[in-house]
Amino acid sequence: MALLSALLIGLVFGAGIAVSGMANPAKVLNFFDVAGNWDPSLAFVMGGALLVTFLGYRLVLRRPGPVFELRFHLPQRRDIDPALIGGSALFGIGWGLSGFCPGGAIPAIGLLRPEPVVFAIPMLLGIAVARILQDRAAGAANGDRQGAA
């Protein structure tokens, strides 16, 4: 049942991306072109997403627990570290250059166009490299603690 729920949520998200035009990189790039052919519709999409998220969190977190899990999995960290800043900068640069973010590119793959695939392959490679680097850093930190004991 949890898998079916995830599928339905993904379909609703993908449909929202498609209906809003956010699977079209030209529409996204026009949002960033404030001195030229500016298209403010992305601001409305983001505002709508913020409103739904704000209300959704308020409603869901009033429940004693999630439906398909034992507990809610919410972010625990609130600090701003170099990894967060660097990741945010890379996300913004990639989005501004390509017109795709993961949320728009993955549903756009279903349109059978090459652009989202060309975006998604380096994105997946970047995720893999980041995980390898994080694992190495964690291993090095554990080795330092074991050596100090």
State residue 21's pLDDT score: 84
Q: pLDDT tens digits, residue range 19-68?
A: 888 888 888 889 888 898 899 988 998 899 999 999 999 999 999 998 88
Q: Is 66 helix (H, G, I), strand (E, B) or coil?
A: coil
What is residue 149's DSSP assignment? -
For residues 135 and 57, give the distance between their C-alpha atoms in angstroms, rounded to a whole number. Answer: 31
For residues 4 and 73, give the distance between their C-alpha atoms in angstroms, rounded to a whole number. Answer: 19
DSSP per position, 5-50: HHHHHHHHHHHHHHHHTTT-HHHHHHHH-TTSS--THHHHHHHHHH
Task: Pick the closest to residue 67 from 137, 145, 5 (CA basis).
Answer: 5
For residues 141 and 135, give the distance between their C-alpha atoms in angstroms, rounded to a whole number. Answer: 10
- Can you give the residue ranges of every domain in the chain? 2-148
For 45: left if phi > 0, alpha if psi spans -120 to 50, otherwise beta; the answer is alpha
State residue 13's pLDDT score: 87
Q: Which residues contact 66 (CB under 8 A, 6 or more apart)?
A: 60, 72
pLDDT of 75 strictly over 70: yes
pLDDT of 148 strictly over 80: no
For residues 78 and 92, give the distance between their C-alpha atoms in angstroms, rounded to a whole number. Answer: 20
Query: Global pTM?
Result: 0.69
Task: Name the residue with tokens 């652009």.
Answer: 115
For residues 118 and 122, give the distance between their C-alpha atoms in angstroms, rounded to a whole number. Answer: 7
